[in-house]
């Protein structure tokens, strides 16, 4: 199955998750996602997602001047964002374990 | 291409692809892009298009992920944009192929390997130029050396000059104006085509070597071992000497093939003095057989074996028994029709 198709559904959650402990700027967030194993995530998808989560009121942003290179726009979770992370995380875990169970019963190899 | 220009170009293309959005949404979507492009460029791995895909695709992905309206037409831009997008997508696929093929041959990129081959191309180019000069100078069947006027020295000199010139040019190529570089590239394409035609021809010549024995075997005298000369009356001549137009003796066949005449040849050394036929005893036309007439044994015909002094008896074709100088007074029955 094409991972990019799956990513579309869970990218919001993934972005919220990598911002849970530490704020980050776009490129940094992208790197965290890739380091975490989501290597196929598209640059534009991440930025688009950040934009949408911000629009939805789940993120705060602030600009940090940088000595070398352009200023960086940092994103962080606000209260609504953390709340959303908890809920979406639960949904995902339920969904994932349901899928696991479904596949286990039928002996589909992991 | 200037790095900053590349980023600006990419940014501008993404902006154009989002042109249908209201300025506020577009501005928000594009807000992080300059920074991101700078970061990606700073990684220094491949062009932006290779790394991020075509700007149109980037814009579409950005649009989808951000959940703003999807453009009605996929290619909403001007014709120029579409051409540019096509060009970029080709360049993008080439870049992907570049990275994929490279590891197969042990390089991180295929283009890296090709770059190593550049001096080899300069040498090949010099050689091809020398060959092209030879062909232009009128040598329609060039071999593998650029022979001018058939001189090996001239060929070597020409080759050396062309090789050096090509290397010199190759080392200066990056500093040439774009137009001159395009000209060089075009010339290179022509040279490669020329070279392919030339190698194909040379290959055919090469294959011709194996055909050459057959060509020689077209000589109808190859299997001639002896020559028998007759005068107008059918009398065999012996000790005939043949010469070509320059007075050189014509020696065909094998003088030593006759056991009987071995002695004769002992005598005849030096072999210039050897006359045809080598084997007077083996005349092909001792008797012209006629229909209805049983060929009599040789003994009855001419009696003794023919020698130098004893002309071969023949049946003369004349119905009247005119005693020509060749007819011998043998009791041979003359031909009666």
pLDDT tens sequence across B2-16: 567 888 899 999 999
Mean pLDDT is lowest, of A28-42, A50-64, B35-49, for B35-49
CB < 8 Å to B59, chain A? 44
Query: What average pLDDT does the structure give for chain B?
Result: 74
Residue A91 has pLDDT above 90, yes or no: yes
Q: Which residue has the higher pLDDT, A11 or B336?
A: A11
User: What is the gyration radius of the CA atoms in chain B, in angstroms?
Assistant: 44
Residue A97 has pLDDT above 90, yes or no: yes
Half-sphere exposure of A37 (CA within 13 A, CB side): 2
Percent of chain B with pLDDT over 90: 8
pTM as predicted: 0.41
What is the reported pLDDT for B299?
45
**Nearest residue of B to residue A69, measured between CA atoms:** B38
What is the reported pLDDT for B154?
82
Residue B294 has pLDDT above 60, yes or no: no
Which residue(s) pair with A63 in the sheet? A73
The secondary structure element, H or E, covering residue A61 is: strand A59-64
Half-sphere exposure of B109 (CA within 13 A, CB side): 13
Number of A to B CB contacts under 8 A, please give it: 71
User: Could you tell me if A71 lies within 8 Å of chain B, comparing CB atoms?
Assistant: yes
CB < 8 Å to A51, chain B? 28-29, 31, 62, 65-66
Question: Per the CB < 8 Å rule, is B31 touching A73?
Answer: yes
A84 within 8 A of A58, measured Cβ to Cβ: yes
Rounded CA-CA distance B275/B268 in Å is 9
Question: Per the CB < 8 Å rule, is A48 touching B64?
Answer: yes
Residue B210 has pLDDT above 70, yes or no: no
Mean pLDDT of B87-100: 80
Over residues B113-129, the pLDDT tens digits come to: 888 888 999 999 999 88
What is the reported pLDDT for B325?
53
Over residues B146-188, the pLDDT tens digits come to: 777 667 788 888 889 999 999 998 888 888 888 888 888 899 9
Residue B18 has pLDDT above 70, yes or no: yes
B286 within 8 A of B302, measured Cβ to Cβ: yes
Of B53, B62, B67, the CB nearest to A47: B62
What is the reported pLDDT for A18?
95
Contacts of residue B81, Cβ cutoff 8 Å, sequence gap at least 6: B13, B16, B17, B56, B75
**Nearest residue of B to residue A63, measured between CA atoms:** B32
B141 within 8 A of B197, measured Cβ to Cβ: no
The secondary structure element, H or E, covering residue B215 is: helix B178-216
Rounded CA-CA distance B277/B238 in Å is 6
Rounded CA-CA distance B100/B110 in Å is 8
Mean pLDDT of B31-43: 85
B203 pLDDT band, cuts 50/70/90, is confident
Which residue(s) pair with B148 in the sheet? B151
Query: What average pLDDT does the structure give for chain A?
Result: 89
What is the reported pLDDT for B291?
57
What is the reported pLDDT for A4?
72
């Amino acid at each position: 199955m094409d991972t990019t198709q799956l990513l579309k559904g869970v990218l919001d959650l993934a972005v919220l998750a990598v911002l849970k402990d530490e704020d980050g700027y776009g490129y940094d967030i992208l790197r965290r996602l890739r380091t975490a194993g989501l290597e196929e995530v598209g640059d534009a998808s991440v930025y688009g997602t950040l934009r949408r989560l911000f629009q939805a009121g789940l993120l705060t942003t602030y600009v940090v001047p940088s000595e070398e290179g352009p200023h960086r726009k940092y994103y962080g979770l606000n209260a609504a964002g953390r709340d959303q992370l908890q809920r979406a995380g639960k949904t995902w875990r339920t969904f994932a374990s349901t899928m696991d169970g479904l596949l286990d019963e039928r002996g589909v190899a992991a | 291409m200037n790095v900053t220009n590349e980023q600006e170009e990419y940014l501008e293309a993404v902006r154009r692809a989002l042109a249908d959005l209201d300025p506020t949404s577009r501005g928000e979507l594009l807000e992080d892009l300059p920074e991101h492009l700078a970061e990606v460029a700073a990684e220094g791995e491949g062009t932006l298009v290779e790394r991020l895909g075509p700007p149109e695709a980037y814009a579409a992905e950005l649009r989808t992920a951000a959940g703003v309206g999807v453009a009605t037409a996929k290619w909403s831009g001007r014709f120029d944009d579409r051409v540019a997008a096509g060009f970029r997508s080709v360049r993008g696929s080439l870049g992907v192929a570049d990275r994929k093929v490279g590891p197969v041959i042990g390089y991180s990129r295929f283009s890296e390997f090709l770059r190593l081959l550049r001096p080899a191309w300069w040498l090949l180019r010099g050689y091809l130029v020398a060959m092209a000069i030879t062909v232009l100078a009128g040598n329609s069947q060039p071999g593998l050396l650029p022979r001018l006027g058939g001189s090996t020295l001239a060929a070597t000199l020409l080759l050396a000059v062309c090789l050096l010139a090509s290397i010199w040019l190759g080392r200066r190529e990056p500093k040439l104006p774009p137009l001159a570089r395009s000209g060089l590239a075009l010339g290179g394409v022509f040279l490669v085509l020329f070279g392919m035609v030339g190698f194909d021809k040379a290959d055919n010549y090469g294959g011709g070597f194996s055909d050459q024995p057959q060509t020689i075997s077209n000589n109808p005298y190859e299997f001639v071992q002896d020559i028998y000369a007759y005068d107008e009356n059918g009398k065999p001549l012996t000790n005939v000497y043949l010469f070509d137009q320059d007075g050189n003796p014509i020696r065909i066949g094998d003088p030593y093939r006759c056991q009987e005449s071995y002695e004769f040849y002992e005598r005849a050394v030096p072999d210039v003095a050897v006359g045809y036929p080598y084997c007077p005893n083996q005349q092909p036309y001792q008797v012209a057989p006629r229909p209805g007439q049983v060929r009599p044994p040789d003994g009855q015909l001419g009696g003794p074996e023919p020698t130098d002094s004893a002309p071969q008896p023949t049946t003369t074709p004349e119905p009247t028994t005119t005693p020509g100088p060749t007819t011998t007074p043998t009791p041979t029955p003359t031909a009666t029709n």
